[in-house]
Amino acid sequence: MVSDFFKMDISLVIPLLNEAESLPELEAWIRRVMAQHGFSYEVLFIDDGSTDSSWQIIEQLAQENPAVRGIKFRRNYGKSAALNTGFAACKGDVVITMDADLQDSPDEISELYRMIVEDKYDLVSGWKQKRYDPLSKTIPTKLYNWAARKISGIPNLHDFNCGLKSYKRDVVKSIEVYGEMHRYIPAIAKWSGFSKIGEKVVQHQARKYGVTKFGLSRFINGPLDLMSIAFVGKFGRRPMHFFGTIGLLMFFFGFVASAFVGFSKLYRLHNDLPTVLVTRNPFFYISLTMMIMGTMLFVTGFLAEMLSRQSPTRNWYVVEKEI
């Protein structure tokens, strides 16, 4: 916890991978903005396993500016790991994330800070309304954002994956970002009880140095991550409600179908009507399969419930106030 004798206004958390060319310009830009508004601040550069001279430049910047800090990963772990590490290390009352490629403008910092402090938002997400990205990136982004709005229940956000966001300190200290869930931090925050989420149109700049880190894996990972975060957010603490409900329904309909097949056979035999072996009736195998699948789903829910109750975070919750 930050000491009461030293209050820091802003922590900037900046994950990066091979952005050596842009770092000096970005740090100088941030320094000008902070001096202009009189903010006390720190800059955390999280080097996600860069293979260029990014870390050497961070070390140099830290010598020139005491507000600059750096954390270097031994290898590339991904943006979520970088953000999660930065969130754990930051000390500011307001935490602002941005990308290191100069496509996010530090001039947005003051307004993002004001919306947290004065408008009392828990989280403010940037919206790059006008983008300078190729269609191969913008089209999937629009589809993901549409799906994310529907699933997360946050209809006012247009750009979930924008790297430029501001957070109340309590938010970043209460959530965990893992895998590739950085795309859906607003949803994670909402399901953690931080429901006042705002949006700000921000300026998007064309990439000046280097190349984009966007890859084809995003076409697969994006939808899978969205489904995962939706499931965990709703059923992570009560998996039996999901698997058990589906399993019981499937078993019930399978049992009813098998009973119908059996009674139909007995009725025809009793009335001397032509009939066939039960094992030759396709409905028998359909009903049997439904009963087996229903049982398996119920057992899955039971096992998942046992595992969740053994988890050290089974009673995880966020305390808002205490007196």
- What is the CATH classification number for the domain harbouring 132? 3.90.550.10
pLDDT value, residue 3:
46
pLDDT value, residue 4:
45
**Residue 321 belongs to some domain of the structure:** no
pLDDT tens for each residue of 170-214: 999 998 888 777 888 998 898 888 989 999 999 877 666 766 655
Cα-Cα-Cα-Cα dihedral of 294, 295, 301, 303, to 10°? -160
| Domain total of the chain | 2
For 245-266, what is the mean pLDDT?
Answer: 89
Buried b (16+ CB within 10 A) or exposed e, 145-159: bebbbebbebeebbb
In a shared domain, residues 262 and 132: no
Q: Residue 218: in which H helix or E strand, if any?
A: helix 217-235
**Residue 317 belongs to some domain of the structure:** no
- Containing structural domain, residue 291: 239-310
Coil/strand/helix, residue 2: coil
In a shared domain, residues 216 and 304: no
Cβ atoms of 14 and 102 closer than 8 Å: no
pLDDT value, residue 321:
47
DSSP one-letter string for 239-253: HHHHHHHHHHHHHHH
Question: What does the alpha-carbon distance between residue 291 and residue 251 come to, in Å, rounded to a whole number?
Answer: 4
Question: What does the alpha-carbon distance between residue 156 and residue 159 come to, in Å, rounded to a whole number?
Answer: 9
In a shared domain, residues 210 and 147: yes
In a shared domain, residues 102 and 115: yes
Question: What does the alpha-carbon distance between residue 229 and residue 184 come to, in Å, rounded to a whole number?
Answer: 8
Q: Does residue 125 have a pLDDT over 80?
A: yes
Q: What are the start-end ranges of the H helices in 129-194?
A: 135-152, 169-172, 185-191
Percent of the chain with pLDDT over 70: 81
Question: What does the alpha-carbon distance between residue 93 and residue 70 come to, in Å, rounded to a whole number?
Answer: 19
**Residue 274 belongs to some domain of the structure:** yes
For 10-26, what is the mean pLDDT?
Answer: 95
In a shared domain, residues 214 and 178: yes
In a shared domain, residues 126 and 254: no
In a shared domain, residues 197 and 249: no
State both tokens at 307.
């595992």
Closest of 16, 14, 20 to residue 95, by C-alpha? 14
State both tokens at 306.
């046992």
In a shared domain, residues 83 and 188: yes
pLDDT tens for each residue of 71-92: 999 999 889 999 999 999 999 9
Which region among 86-90, 152-156, 240-244, 310-314 has the lowest average model confidence (pLDDT)? 310-314
Q: Residue 127: in which H helix or E strand, if any?
A: strand 123-127
**Residue pointed to by tokens 């966001």:** 165
Question: What does the alpha-carbon distance between residue 113 and residue 100 come to, in Å, rounded to a whole number?
Answer: 19
**Residue pointed to by tokens 């899955």:** 300
As beta bridge partners, residue 70 has 45
In a shared domain, residues 222 and 275: no
Cα-Cα-Cα-Cα dihedral of 200, 12, 99, 106, to 10°? 60
